[in-house]
Amino acid sequence: MEQNIRKAIEQALEEAQTRKFVESVEFAFTIKDVDLKNPTNRIQEEIRLPAGRGRELSIAMFADGEMATKAKNAGITVIDPSQIEDLGGTRQKARKLARDHDFFLSEIPHMGPIGRFLGVVLGPRGKMPRPVPPVADPGAIAEGLKTVAIVRSRDKITFHTVIGTRPQGIDALTENGIAVWKRVTAKLERGAGNIRSFYVKTSMGPSVKVEVIL
């Protein structure tokens, strides 16, 4: 599969127009013969990309007091918990918040209000905050997220995930792509046999089919 993935990534990069922004490179899987109504069959994986994400991620944390200071010192954007209700009260603000940050963290006491006021926006986007215990180092947690790709099928047979960015080049994207392919197929009962179709594309480029070897 490595050669097929590499070839498809190369074609996707060649066929995509040059853009004025850094494009992500994404995989799209469509699976078959999997009962996704059963939550235990759904794919929900955090995959460490060996060559990294190819761009700086924005990580925000709902925190105050000492934890907010720790987060700021680690370069994390701090959101005052007193703003949670206001952010949730305006869908436009909540959506902008979700767009502006790749991952969210939160002190544990704020998780309830976040779920109540922001869950409807953050939840479907897979961006509900990760709870941070009082003794934990938010900087270390944030650092660990910087190379992570999230794969979530939910109850849909077609799902997407990022494998990096266009400037990373063929070698790095192939290395990341193989890591994602292996993890996804490892979660399926028949492995590649449960893959109906498999595509790669840049953010705004054409989709290129990857030939699946059973």
pLDDT band for position 63 (50/70/90)? very high
The pLDDT value recorded for residue 90 is 87
Which pair of structure tokens corresponds to residue 40? 């235990």
The per-residue pLDDT for range 132-190, each reduced to its tens digit, is 999 999 999 999 999 999 999 999 999 999 999 999 999 999 999 999 999 999 999 99
The CA distance from 115 to 49, in Å, is 29
Enumerate the β-bridge partners of residue 28: 160, 199
DSSP state of 105: E
Task: Sheet with 59-62: list strands edge to edge.
Answer: 77-79, 59-62, 103-107, 130-132
Instruction: Assign a CATH topology to domain 59-145.
Output: Rossmann fold (3.40.50)
The pLDDT value recorded for residue 26 is 97
The CA distance from 187 to 29, in Å, is 13
Architecture in CATH of 2-54+147-209: 2-Layer Sandwich (3.30)
The CA distance from 64 to 33, in Å, is 47
The CA distance from 133 to 213, in Å, is 44
Mean pLDDT of the chain: 95
The pLDDT value recorded for residue 28 is 98
The CA distance from 199 to 170, in Å, is 16
The pLDDT value recorded for residue 126 is 87
Would strands 130-132 and 148-152 be described as parallel, antiparallel, or unpaired? unpaired
The per-residue pLDDT for range 78-112, each reduced to its tens digit, is 999 999 999 998 889 999 999 999 999 999 999 99
Nearest to 105 by CA among 69, 55, 141, 150: 141
pLDDT band for position 214 (50/70/90)? confident
The pLDDT value recorded for residue 91 is 87
The per-residue pLDDT for range 9-28, each reduced to its tens digit, is 999 999 999 888 999 999 99
The CA distance from 119 to 112, in Å, is 9
* Residue 101 host element (H or E): none
Can you give the residue ranges of every domain in the chain?
2-54+147-209, 59-145
Nearest to 131 by CA among 103, 108, 101, 104: 108
